[in-house]
Structure 1
């Protein structure tokens, strides 16, 4: 097992790590996996061909299941210990914890000089997204957020069409998803496939499952008694303390396409609508948020609107486009482009019957996990690195902030604040429990 080299000062404090990668592309990386159940199990399978040397999870049952496949890996419950034990030799980290602890594990990995793959969304709030993005920029580490759909050929062909001007200058993008994980009636929850119906924070003190370390699961979130309405996932998605509802979950996948195709970064304003008043504990099932982005190079200013649950774009409601359950609609000066994960259409179809498509220009992906592993070994770029994913994550969170504040936000990206809504500050950054601070 290869070791990393660290430089320490005479006082014994840790200085900047020397980043080492496998010397040859066919040499296996030593990988630590934080979060082994749920999405973590899928991510673990994605890197299983590498040398998995450490397994970390707050649930002993999840570690047990993973250890049956990787019996030589070390076991941890607290990922802070994983990074504190400097004699541990590993090159890369896969972070698959719940959303509210992503930044805590990822920041430690970056500062320890480890390549990082982090499940989406990258962070729990805007400030964390900015922190992780700027920290990653200081390194030459391979980073990737878990937006697996980004690696598909379909997304690549859509991006090529938009960038080639197939539908002219795009001034509108509409993104909608049918999922409605959030605050809704028990009847609607059952119809929409939700599995929890609690509408207020439980107060009773329920004993956690024997395998679960509830205090570690909470991480930096405010302390509260265990209750089965929070775990396992996807129950926690809907609670503001731990997740951000459908927006931060599926926004990572669906807003990814317009962000990529239209070279988006920071919006200048965000406004949102949904059930009023916003629930203090639980994200909404149905809502929408509208972002305005300035012109970028030769691309005109664009308005992007997100719809979830019962909310749909006007063209969908008017049935002037195919009734896809989820999709992205680009509206340009010469036509429209409709896409989802696996297909796309130029509209009106008769107008584009003889359209000559541009030759593919975006190389085929090695695979979302393979791309990151290859980058860690060779220094090659990744397509969902933390620079790109950080901007996308910030925007997704801002949609929820605008909804919860209840007003249009005039966004100063450089200052990371809404100039007209100081009350938004409390939602842009959170306070952490002692021992879980980020700085």
Structure 2
């Protein structure tokens, strides 16, 4: 692949007010298969730890981390890397030498960090969910097309063998037509309840830059229940249990069945069959989401049910007899011939409800689905080197539609309304829901507005 050398094409780049002013398109580049890549981290704690192993064979050039305690493991692991609190300053200093950036920040800062890297011509890996709102997702999709950089979302289950096996089985006709999918997580979405009960102000730790952590969101008082680990349960910063796990578990039906956008999304909290299992009460913020998809080609219409916070689907007696139910998470693809059961948030060990001993003894369909080259970080590095044309969960083809699918569920939760979304116009049938497409941005954090 012949691409412009970023170091030459971006010489005149200058940062101003949260936006890089470029002399032209920033185009990514490839490197030889055996060369080390120059990498930077934005966020060095939490989920970033899962990326360290894959970076050990590369050159860690710089790390941006706003919390020296939360990010201590990454900062200490790479002592030779230049350390920054503001990723914008880091990118201004090092963009000419960087090949890839790994974004491991809370949801609300995924977009500015990702866009800032992309417009500088740098390949990017961003944790799931890709963005905090629909406008951000679409803007990153356009940015990937404009700046021509390699991209991937960190929904790790997309790349594992179990995902490919499920698709092999589905495409091979093993379970027949699927009209229902049931997916669940033990995590909940108490965000709306939390919004009604503001937390008291606490002193900001000396090791944290609270202003930079807040980023594009409205600057509010610090509270330790939000930062460093509770932010996911507050709408300003995260999108709850669905946002946390949906990009993993709902990835299964989307990828396997080739689903596009749903025609209707709503919540129906009467759908809860937990009493058939252990009768435990659900958590605060528990709920059941319903996604309706039209049929396409030979595939019939399908309904996806997403249960969280203790809500659970109905399980057949045969499935309960043959398999232990994973209460923490899982997915059922219910076909008219058989059912695929995938326990856990990711498809690590899928199996069939019926006749599993027969099928697993050499009778499963052939492995026709192309396999991934590794996890999302490894895949991005392979794409940058030119070993593969693009990543599976890249922003243009896959990560954005999957993220929007998850975001539509959170809008149904926040609004309490039925959500009918037109992905072509990026608007809702109920215009009152358009307020959720894009939230206000703090001055100095405007990206992709042009």
Q: How does 1:250-265 map to 2 (within 5 A)?
A: 250-265=245-260
1:125–1:427 Cα contact (<8 Å) kept: yes
C-alpha distance 284-267 of structure 1, shift in aligned 2 (>3 A):
farther
Q: Distance in 1 between matches of 2:59 and 2:284?
A: 41
Q: Distance in 2 between matches of 1:89 and 1:8?
A: 11
Shift of 1:261: 0.3
1:271–1:289 Cα contact (<8 Å) kept: yes
C-alpha distance 138-284 of structure 1, shift in aligned 2 (>3 A):
farther
Segment of structure 1 superposing worse, 339-348 or 9-18: 9-18
Q: Distance in 1 between matches of 2:442 and 2:84?
A: 21
Specify the alignment match of 1:194 in structure 2: none
1:329 to 332, 357, 370: 332
| Secondary structure at 1:314 match in 2 | coil
Specify the alignment match of 2:351 in structure 1: 345
1:107 equivalent in alignment to 2:103: no
C-alpha distance 171-82 of structure 1, shift in aligned 2 (>3 A):
same
1:179–1:309 Cα contact (<8 Å) kept: yes
Specify the alignment match of 2:407 in structure 1: 397
Q: Distance in 2 between matches of 1:317 and 1:219?
A: 50
Q: Distance in 2 between matches of 1:142 and 1:367?
A: 16
1:424 equivalent in alignment to 2:420: no
Q: Distance in 2 between matches of 1:348 and 1:77?
A: 54
1:200 to 197, 200, 203: 197
Q: CA RMSD in A?
A: 2.9
Shift of 1:316: 6.3
Q: Distance in 1 between matches of 2:340 and 2:13?
A: 61
Q: Distance in 2 between matches of 1:75 and 1:265?
A: 41
Q: How does 1:163-202 map to 2 (within 5 A)?
A: 163-180=171-188, 182=190, 200-202=197-199
Specify the alignment match of 1:240 in structure 2: 235
1:359 equivalent in alignment to 2:366: yes
Specify the alignment match of 1:14 in structure 2: 23
Q: Distance in 1 between matches of 2:147 and 2:92?
A: 20
Specify the alignment match of 1:306 in structure 2: 306
1:436 equivalent in alignment to 2:445: yes
Could you list the per-position Cα deviations for residues 341-380 of structure 1 after superposition, in whole angstroms to 9, with x for gaps in the alignment? 3222323338966893111123443321212111111161
C-alpha distance 184-67 of structure 1, shift in aligned 2 (>3 A):
closer
Q: Distance in 1 between matches of 2:383 and 2:72?
A: 30
C-alpha distance 198-248 of structure 1, shift in aligned 2 (>3 A):
closer
Q: Where does structure 2 lack aligned partners over 5 or more consecutive residues?
A: 15-20, 271-282
Q: Distance in 2 between matches of 1:26 and 1:9?
A: 30
C-alpha distance 32-10 of structure 1, shift in aligned 2 (>3 A):
closer
Shift of 1:64: 5.1
Q: Distance in 2 between matches of 1:377 and 1:20?
A: 8
1:90 equivalent in alignment to 2:98: yes
Specify the alignment match of 1:190 in structure 2: none
C-alpha distance 236-364 of structure 1, shift in aligned 2 (>3 A):
same
2:6–2:26 Cα contact (<8 Å) kept: no
Specify the alignment match of 2:227 in structure 1: 231
Q: Distance in 2 between matches of 1:13 and 1:346?
A: 53
Q: How does 1:11-50 map to 2 (within 5 A)?
A: 13-22=22-31, 24-50=32-58
The TM-score normalised by the length of structure 2 is 0.85
Q: Where does structure 1 lack aligned partners over 5 or more consecutive residues?
A: 186-196, 276-282
2:127–2:153 Cα contact (<8 Å) kept: yes
| Secondary structure at 1:288 match in 2 | strand
Q: Distance in 2 between matches of 1:431 and 1:99?
A: 15
Q: Distance in 1 between matches of 2:95 and 2:144?
A: 23
2:188–2:287 Cα contact (<8 Å) kept: no
Shift of 1:66: 2.7
2:331–2:342 Cα contact (<8 Å) kept: yes
Shift of 1:98: 0.6
| Secondary structure at 2:77 match in 1 | coil
2:260–2:401 Cα contact (<8 Å) kept: yes
1:270 equivalent in alignment to 2:265: yes
1:269–1:292 Cα contact (<8 Å) kept: yes
Segment of structure 1 superposing worse, 206-215 or 173-182: 173-182
C-alpha distance 25-355 of structure 1, shift in aligned 2 (>3 A):
closer
Shift of 1:328: 1.0
Could you list the per-position Cα deviations for residues 392-417 of structure 1 after superposition, in whole angstroms to 9, with x for gaps in the alignment? 11010110101221121122111112
1:183–1:284 Cα contact (<8 Å) kept: no
Q: Distance in 2 between matches of 1:375 and 1:47?
A: 15
1:413 equivalent in alignment to 2:415: no
| Secondary structure at 2:341 match in 1 | strand
| Secondary structure at 1:370 match in 2 | helix
Could you list the per-position Cα deviations for residues 139-166 of structure 1 after superposition, in whole angstroms to 9, with x for gaps in the alignment? 4322111111222212211111112221
Q: Distance in 2 between matches of 1:331 and 1:151?
A: 23
Alignment: residue pair count:
416
Could you list the per-position Cα deviations for residues 271-303 of structure 1 after superposition, in whole angstroms to 9, with x for gaps in the alignment? 11459xxxxxxx963111111112233322211
Q: Distance in 2 between matches of 1:402 and 1:88?
A: 43
Shift of 1:87: 6.2
1:405–1:423 Cα contact (<8 Å) kept: no
